[in-house]
Amino acid sequence: MTVSAKEVQELRKISGAGMMECKSALSEAKGDLDTAFKLLREKGIAKAEKKSSRDANEGLIGIKLSENKASIVEVNSETDFVSRNGEFHELVRSILDIVLSNDQNNEKINTEASSLINEAVGIIGENIVFKRFNYLEGNLHSYMHNSVSSGLGKIGVIVDLACDESDMDIIGKNICMHIAATNPKSVSKEDFDPNLLNEEKQIIKQQLKETGKPDNIVEKMMNGKINKFISENTLLGQKFVMDPTLTVSDYLDDISKEKSIKVQVRRFIRFELGS
């Protein structure tokens, strides 16, 4: 029989078992959740069933760079105490390796990570959740804020710089630190999420409607507020945290002139614990 992704996720949530194990158990149980859960318990896969229902709001962000590739993950635990545990650190690093080595095969990544987490739950004694992951290739630089161990912390950033020079570590770190501090939504206006922009427009429109000002004045105010919103939430438009007299775009332009090369940010990934 066909098993829906929603059913698989529900069984994963209560059992802590991997995606493929849950799918197989649901198929065998003809879609009955209780029977599938019982099958997993009988196989010893649902050994963490009580722990999996508990909230996991602590944990760590992890980053691993390997040549021109990088993985970033968020793994959650119930307590900050466990997130500082060496066994938990090794778990996060193992999951980073899985993401790096599986060429963005999401199903394989989730299956292998879930298997490791099930084993870890039995050893550590807390609910552990593999919340999310991402992967990037390019001329990469990274930064970890509130680091508790090498490559592990509370806010992680990876940046892909487009330039013709390999010695860009300081520039890359500066941009990463800026992103960690300011949380931009996109690199530039061109790749800004249209849904987020439309949502903000509706909010501003409602606010201005209540002022009672003429339509032509409201339109000018709308344009000004939208432009400000975009500048404050795009990396290139933001004031550079290390020198607020410059925007990030100005900073990169200055570096480009100084080194006689073009330095650009192609893309970035920012993970913050719990966000």
pLDDT computed for residue 49 by the predictor? 45
Which one-letter DSSP state was computed for residue 186?
Answer: B
Which one-letter DSSP state was computed for residue 51?
Answer: G
Pairing relation of β-strands 140-145 and 155-162? antiparallel
Angle subtended at Cα 30 by Cα 28 and Cα 36, rounded to the nearest 5 degrees: 60
List CB contacts of 265: < 8 A, sequence separation 6 or more.
159, 160, 161, 162, 175, 187, 235, 236, 248, 252
Class of domain 58-161+268-272: alpha beta
pLDDT computed for residue 166 by the predictor? 65
Q: Answer yes or no: is pLDDT of 84 > 60.
A: yes
Q: Give the domain ranges of the chain.
A: 5-53, 58-161+268-272
Residue whose structure tokens are 């439309």: 198
pLDDT computed for residue 1 by the predictor? 67
Element (H, E) at 211: none
CATH number of 5-53: 1.10.8.10
Percent with pLDDT over 90 in the chain: 53
Kindly state the average pLDDT of the residues 69-95: 94
pLDDT computed for residue 248 by the predictor? 97
Q: What is the pTM of this model?
A: 0.77
pLDDT band at 141 (very low <50, low <70, confident <90, very high): very high
Q: What is the DSSP string of 68-90?
A: TEEEEEEEEES-HHHHTSHHHHH
Kindly state the average pLDDT of the residues 110-128: 87
pLDDT computed for residue 45 by the predictor? 65
User: Which tokens go with 202?
Assistant: 């509706």
Task: List phi, psi (to 5°) of 64.
Answer: -135, 130
Q: pLDDT tens digits, residue range 20-75?
A: 888 888 998 888 888 888 888 777 665 544 455 566 789 999 999 998 999 999 99
